[in-house]
Amino acid sequence: MTARGAPPDRLGRRVAVVDDDPRTLRTMQLLLREEGYSVEVFSDATTALEALRAEHFDALVTDHVLPGLQGLALARIVRREMPHVRCVIVSGHDPPKSFADEEIPWLIKPVSFDALVAAIG
């Protein structure tokens, strides 16, 4: 489905994508834009958090293993400070044991793009 055929509730919704791999960022950006989302990409969690605090975003998609602040820590901060932002973690690693009670979707790479779009909402 392309942006022209994207469901109206997706059009213009802002998504922040955080990953330290430039190819992953570019791929997610292109695919999510095709689905009608407005996408901004970040290579580290600290910069993403600053943007999330300064501007309105509807969703956050983040890798877990990042330089500095980890993705799970970022998602927890965002959920606490901005409960309207839907958070999704996409990682090549299983979630830590402390994650058992989280209400944040954790998708294992390589992730199905359909599963990612469903998790974002």
Number of domains in the chain: 1
Report the CATH number at residue 27. Answer: 3.40.50.2300
Instruction: Please state, as a whole number, how many other Cβ atoms lie within 10 Å of the Cβ of residue 84.
Output: 10
E strand or H helix at 45: helix 45-54
DSSP string, 68-94: SS-HHHHHHHHHHH-TTSEEEEEESSP
Contact 71, 48 (CB under 8 A): no
Structural domain containing residue 84: 3-120
- The model's pLDDT over 61-102, given as tens digits with 9 standing for 90+, comes to 999 999 999 999 999 999 999 999 999 999 999 988 878 767
How does the average pLDDT of the chain come out, rounded?
A: 90
Report the share of the chain in percent with pLDDT over 90.
81
pTM metric for this prediction: 0.90
Distance CA 86, CA 120 (A): 6
